[in-house]
Amino acid sequence: MNLVLQKNMEKISRSRFFTIILYVMIVLFMGSLNALVDRFLHPEIPFFDSEHLIVGGVTAMVTVVLYGALISHMYHLRRAINTIGSLGAILPICANCKKIRRPQEDPRTMKSWQSIEIYLSEKTKQSLTHGICPECLQKLYPEYSDQIINSDKKPDC
């Protein structure tokens, strides 16, 4: 029962309508907080006093800015999590050339396969560069590998 309630609360909290209503309620509460406190501590001061309206207006504006920034930040975090989740899905990759097949495309056509560099550049903001690991350096360039691996100076590539 608790798990069902928790899932329902997650759905509700993710909806934009709930977020907007909560946002408006917080702004209204924070804007009238000074007047509410004075209502109990100083009942002789009217609720709609000019000082309450000024302080409440300033407090409401500050609350709008701060909670707006918070909601914007949460939106960007959700988008980042969704992007990471989509990148975490299983990718069909060629066992030989390491090209990635585009989702929902025919694996028998050449246009459905793209290099891993292009795929990552399209899906992320990451730019890639190429290097060579020591193992491949020894396999592909054995005449230079000992000299490069044993040197104290890092290669320029």
Write the pLDDT tens digit of every residue in 82-98: 777 666 667 788 888 88
**What is the rounded distance in angstroms from the CA atom of residue 155 to the CA atom of residue 87?**
32
Claim to verify: residue 12 and residue 60 sit in the same structural domain = yes
Residue 123: the pLDDT is: 76
Mean pLDDT of 6-31: 76
pTM: 0.43
Residue 130: the pLDDT is: 80
Claim to verify: residue 73 and residue 140 sit in the same structural domain = no
Per-residue pLDDT band for 21 (boundaries 50, 70, 90) equals confident
Mean pLDDT of 32-43: 85
Q: Per the domain annotation, does 156 fall within a domain?
A: no
Question: Residue 121: which of 90, 71, 87, 76 has the closest Cα?
Answer: 87
Claim to verify: residue 55 and residue 6 sit in the same structural domain = yes
Q: Per the domain annotation, does 94 fall within a domain?
A: no
Q: Which domain holds residue 144?
A: 100-150
Mean pLDDT of 115-134: 81
Report pLDDT digits (tens) over 42-65.
888 887 888 888 888 898 899 889
Q: Per the domain annotation, does 93 fall within a domain?
A: no
Residue 40: the pLDDT is: 84
Claim to verify: residue 83 and residue 105 sit in the same structural domain = no
Claim to verify: residue 66 and residue 110 sit in the same structural domain = no
The residues, ordered by sequence, that sit 6+ positions from 77 with a Cβ below 8 Å of its Cβ are none
Q: Per the domain annotation, does 25 fall within a domain?
A: yes
Residue 11: the pLDDT is: 66
Q: Which helix (H) or strand (E) holds 113?
A: strand 113-114
Q: Per the domain annotation, does 49 fall within a domain?
A: yes
Claim to verify: residue 71 and residue 18 sit in the same structural domain = yes
Claim to verify: residue 13 and residue 80 sit in the same structural domain = yes
Residue 85: the pLDDT is: 67
Counted domains in the chain: 2
For residues 68 and 2, which has the higher predicted lDDT (pLDDT)? 68
Mean pLDDT of 104-109: 78
